[in-house]
Chains A and B, each alone.
Chain A
Amino acid sequence: GQQVMQIPQYQHVQEGEDFTTYCNSSTTLSNIQWYKQRPGGHPVFLIQLVKSGEVKKQKRLTFQFGEAKKNSSLHITATQTTDVGTYFCAGLDAGGTSYGKLTFGQGTILTVHP
């Protein structure tokens, strides 16, 4: 079945440093979504990428979708303590499914030291 791998598992940064997490799928995706989960909280939708090579920005966050629609990245510029949490990518398989089963990566836990 489809697998989504995410690296790194953990990232510790000083406030103001940049942060990047990478996501790779074993199959081609119809789209990829990114979620943030604060400690003790639930996943909160950040963005959805649909087109091959797509790049989207939200303030300090930049999201990319690979040309082959099998990989994606999230980059945060100048991290702040409010960025703390676990960042998940979640892919929708492009092959043959008739429903929107999201396959989540295992997440990257980001800690930011002030």
Chain B
Amino acid sequence: ETGVTQSPTHLIKTRGQQVTLRCSSQSGHNTVSWYQQALGQGPQFIFQYYREEENGRGNFPPRFSGLQFPNYSSELNVNALELDDSALYLCASSDSGYTEAFFGQGTRLTVV
């Protein structure tokens, strides 16, 4: 296993609500990336954090936001949830943005 842990593993929310997902990166890794994986699709890049700063963003609206803490753990926040936000949310840590990414087991979010 990778040492990247995500919580919770499963979550059901109602449309319009807000959600916070958490990720603890692997020891020694200062870079955390978040991905959304819809059923049957490849992971889609949401954003990346490097040393507590957002370091790049994919094509996701501003209601997707994040934080990285001094211990390099991270949060993904999604406001005003929509049905299409239902997906597996993956956190990946690395020791830079250019090396192999170690993925957590993901959080399965269902929006009803």
Interface positions of B from 8 to 54, Cβ below 8 Å from A: 31, 33, 35, 40-45, 48, 50
Q: How many A residues touch B, CB cutoff 8 Å?
A: 27
Identify A42's interface contact among B44, B96, B103, CB under 8 A: B103
| Given A42-B90, A43-B90, also A101-B45 (CB < 8 A) | yes
Determine if B98 and A30 form an interchain contact, defined as CB atoms under 8 angstroms apart: yes
Determine if A104 and B42 form an interchain contact, defined as CB atoms under 8 angstroms apart: yes
Does residue B66 face the partner (Cβ distance < 8 Å to A)? no
CB-defined contacts of B100 to chain A, threshold 8 Å: 33, 45, 48
CA separation between A48 and B44, bound complex, in Å? 19
Closest to A100 in B: B97
CB-defined contacts of B105 to chain A, threshold 8 Å: 41-42
Which one of A11-19, A57-65, A66-74, A91-99 is at the B interface?
Answer: A91-99
Min C-beta distance of A30 to chain B, whole Å: 7
CB-defined contacts of A31 to chain B, threshold 8 Å: 98
Does residue B101 face the partner (Cβ distance < 8 Å to A)? yes
Determine if A45 and B102 form an interchain contact, defined as CB atoms under 8 angstroms apart: yes
Determine if B41 and A106 form an interchain contact, defined as CB atoms under 8 angstroms apart: yes
Of all A-B residue pairs in the complex, the 3 with the closest CB atoms, nearest first, are: A100-B97, A104-B42, A99-B56
